[in-house]
Amino acid sequence: MTTSYKLEAIAKLKAEKKQMRQQEAIELKQQQEAEDKAHQENMSRIAKKMAIINGEQVVEEKPKKQVKKSQPKKTTAKKPAAKKRGRPKKSK
């Protein structure tokens, strides 16, 4: 016969495994969706290339560029040039 704490431990492990399987299924689904999306993008890229090769007109959709507001540049005080070191020049 098994004791109650062993039965509780087994039930707890089964519950944990069930949660792990559900989590793995969700992750697998997300991974497959990402792969399908990448595959569709790749196929559309190849289709555009084939259209260009066949001499067909290809309409390219250019994404709109977001305009960033430029911040004014801060001016810094210039440091004076460093004095030359070494021997002084000969005077005439």
List, for residues 49-76, the tens digit of each pLDDT value: 998 888 887 777 776 777 777 777 777 7
Contact 58, 51 (CB under 8 A): yes
Residues in the chain: 92
Position 5 confidence tier, pLDDT thresholds 50, 70, 90: very high
pLDDT at 30: 96
Q: Is residue 50 part of a domain?
A: yes
Total structural domains in the chain? 1
Q: Is residue 47 part of a domain?
A: yes
- For residue 80, being part of any structural domain is answered with no
pTM over 0.85: no
Chain-centroid distance of CA 51 in Å reads 30
The answer to whether position 53 is within a domain reads yes
Which residues are CB-contacts of 52 (< 8 A; sequence separation ≥ 6)?
58
Q: Among candidates 48, 77, 76, which has minimal Cα distance to 61? A: 48
Q: What is the pLDDT of residues 25-47, one digit of tens each?
A: 999 999 999 999 999 999 999 99
What local confidence, expressed as pLDDT, does residue 29 receive? Answer: 96
